[in-house]
Amino acid sequence: MSTPASGSLALAIAMSGIMLAPAASSAGSRDAQIVSDLIAARQAHDAEVARQIWQWAEVGYQEQQSSELLQSQLREAGFEVRAGVADMPTAFVATAGSGKPVIGILAEFDALPGFSQDAMPERSPIKGRQSGHACGHHLFGVGSTSAAIAIKDWLARSRVSGTIRLYGTPAEEGGAGKVYMVRAGLFNDVDVVLHWHPDDTNDASPVESQANRSAKFRFFGESSHAAAAPDRGRSALDGVEAMNNMVNLLREHVPQETRIHYVITKGGSAPNVVPDFAEVYYYVRHPDPGVLVGIWARVLKAADGAAMGTETRVEHEVIHGVYSLLNNETLSKVFDRELRAIGGVQYTPEEQAFAEKLQANLPQPVRALGTQAEVQPYLPRQQYGSTDVGDVSWMVPTAGPQVATWVPGTPAHSWQAVAAGGMSIGFKGMRVASQALARTAVALYRDPRLVKEARREFESRRGADFQYRPLLGDRAPPLDYRN
C-alpha cells in the first residue's frame, strides 16, 4: 500500500497550531524531547494516514486496506511485519529492536456500521457510505503506529536494549480480535503492553471494565399460513420473544452491575406467514468474568425454556467473549506523569467554532469547552463498557490513557465522534496520545525497575491460581460477523 500523498489536508494540519512544546518528563527531558520531535516531524503525514482510514471506515475483520496501510508504514520504518496472524487476515505483528524488555503497543482500526458522517458539526451522512469511525479506532491505529516508529528510532539512537512490538488488532467492536491473538500465544514473551483510546477527556486513571459474552440465538420452527392454518405453524419469532420475556424477568435477579442487551436481527418476512426462523443477538456483561459465566448459564436456560414452550428448536453461536480489564497502577501512574507533562489539546479559533456548533447538537448539559486542554485527576473508577484489551491485561501488565480526540461532551459511538475524528480536533488528540505512549515506553526502557514492579503488581492482582480460559471458547474468529 502506498503512502498517502501530502496535500491540502497536510497543509491545514501544519497551520492548525498542532505543535505542542514538550515539558519535563519522568522519561528524562532529553529522551522526551527526542521522541516528541520524532512524532512532531510525522504529524502532517500521520493526519493524512488517519484521514484515509477514516474515509475507508472498514468494519471488523474487513479492514483490509486499513491494515495494509498501517503495515506499509511500519515496513518502511524498518519493522519486521508478520501479517495474517492468529487466523485473522487483517491482524499483524510488527517488531523492531532486540533484547529485553519487550514492550507491546496495541493498534485498532475497525469502524462501526451505521455511522456514516462527514467531518461537519451538523448531522451530515456521506452518501454511499454506511459505516463510520464512531469510536475513533482510525486515530488509535495511527497514533499507536506513530509512537512505535518513534520508539524504534529512539532505541537505535540511544543504543538502549529493548524490543518494541506493534500489534495490529482487528475487530475490537464485537469481534474480540485480541482474544484470538492472546489464545495464539502472541503475547507470551511480552513484558508490558501499552494502549490508549479516543475520548472527550484526557485521563490516565485506571479503569475497570465489564467482562462480556455475546451470542446469536437462532430459533427454528414450522411455517404455515398465519390465517388459514395457524395451528400447523410453530413460530420461531414466538421463541425469540419468549426468550426475551424471560431474560427481562431475569434482570431483577442478577447482580446490579450486570448489563444485558439484545436486538432481534431476524423476525420473519411477512405478517401472514408464521416464521420458521428468527434470531436474536445478545450481549451479557459483568465486571467479574466468573460471575458472568454464571449469569450466562441462566440466559441459556431461558433460551431452552423458550424453545420448549413454543415447540421450536434453538441453537446458539458464541460470537465473542472478553475479560474485564485488570488494572496496573504502576504503569497507569507513569502514563499519568507523562500525560500531565504533555498537556491536553488547545483549539484554534476555527476549531473552537466547530466545537461550539457540534455541542449544540449534543444532549445538554455538556462538558465545558476547554476541558480538552486539561488532564483529569488520577482517580481509579468503574465504567460499564467492554474491550478485548481485557484479555491482554490478564496475560501481561497493561495500561493506557484516554485522550481527548472528540469535542468535550461527545459520547463514544455517536456521529459527533465520527465528525471530530475526521478533522484537526481528532488529529491533535492523536498526537498527544502518540507522545504519551512513546514517552511512557522510554521511561520503562530507562528504568527496568518499573517493569519489574508492574510485573509484581500484576501477579499479585491476578492471583497465583489464575488459569486463562477464553470466554469465547475454542471457536474460530467470526470473520463474517459483520456481514
Condensed to tens digits (0 to 9), the pLDDT of residues 191-220 reads 999 999 999 999 999 999 999 999 999 999
Q: Is residue 298 in a domain?
A: yes
Q: Is the pLDDT of residue 6 over 50?
A: no
Q: Is the pLDDT of residue 282 over 60?
A: yes
What average pLDDT does this structure show over 337-365? Answer: 96
| E-only strand ranges, 251-291 | 259-266, 277-286
Closest CA to 164 of 143, 197, 193: 193
| 18/407 Cα distance (integer angstroms) | 16
Q: Is the pLDDT of residue 23 over 50?
A: no
Which CATH number belongs to the domain containing residue 178 in this structure? 3.40.630.10
Q: Is residue 477 in a domain?
A: no
Q: Is residue 328 in a domain?
A: yes
| 136/142 Cα distance (integer angstroms) | 10
Which CATH number belongs to the domain containing residue 260 in this structure? 3.30.70.360
In terms of Cβ atoms closer than 10 Å to its own Cβ (0-12, 13-18, 19+), residue 185 is: exposed
pLDDT at position 364: 84
pLDDT at position 26: 53
Is the domain of 38 the same as that of 111?
Answer: yes
Tally Cβ neighbours within 10 Å of residue 366: 17
Q: For strand 313-322 and strand 402-404, is the pairing parallel, antiparallel, or unpaired?
A: unpaired
Q: Is residue 482 in a domain?
A: no
DSSP string, 163-190: EEEEEEE--TTTT-HHHHHHHTTTTTT-
pLDDT digits (tens, 9 = 90+) for 136-165: 999 999 999 999 999 999 999 998 999 999
Q: How confident is the model at residue 118 (pLDDT cuts 50, 70, 90)?
A: very high
pLDDT digits (tens, 9 = 90+) for 286-306: 999 999 999 999 999 999 999
Is the domain of 182 the same as that of 216?
Answer: no
Is the domain of 233 the same as that of 357?
Answer: no
Q: How confident is the model at residue 20 (pLDDT cuts 50, 70, 90)?
A: very low
Domain range spanning residue 204? Answer: 8-208+324-462
The structure's pTM equals 0.90
Is the domain of 53 the same as that of 107?
Answer: yes
Residues 111-117: contacts with CB under 8 Å, at least 24 apart: 111/56, 111/57, 111/58, 111/59, 111/63, 111/137, 111/138, 111/173, 112/59, 112/173, 112/413, 113/59, 113/482, 115/57, 115/413, 115/414, 115/415, 115/418, 116/57, 116/418, 117/415, 117/418, 117/419, 117/422
| 85/66 Cα distance (integer angstroms) | 16
Helix (H, G, I), strand (E, B) or coil at 414: coil
Q: Is residue 1 in a domain?
A: no
Is the domain of 330 the same as that of 301?
Answer: no
Closest CA to 325 of 270, 251, 393: 393
- In a 13 Å sphere around the CA of 9, the CA atoms on its Cβ side amount to 19
pLDDT at position 308: 98
Is the domain of 261 the same as that of 373?
Answer: no
Quote the percentage of the chain above a pLDDT of 90.
91
Q: Is residue 216 in a domain?
A: yes
How many domains are there within the chain?
2
Domain boundary among 263, 295, 322: 322
Residue carrying the nine cell digits 501479517? 83
Q: How confident is the model at residue 384 (pLDDT cuts 50, 70, 90)?
A: confident
| 258/251 Cα distance (integer angstroms) | 8
| 400/169 Cα distance (integer angstroms) | 15
Q: Is residue 471 in a domain?
A: no
What's the residue count for the chain?
Answer: 483
Q: Is the pLDDT of residue 7 over 90?
A: no
Q: Is the pLDDT of residue 458 over 50?
A: yes
- Cα 208 to its chain centre, rounded Å, is 15
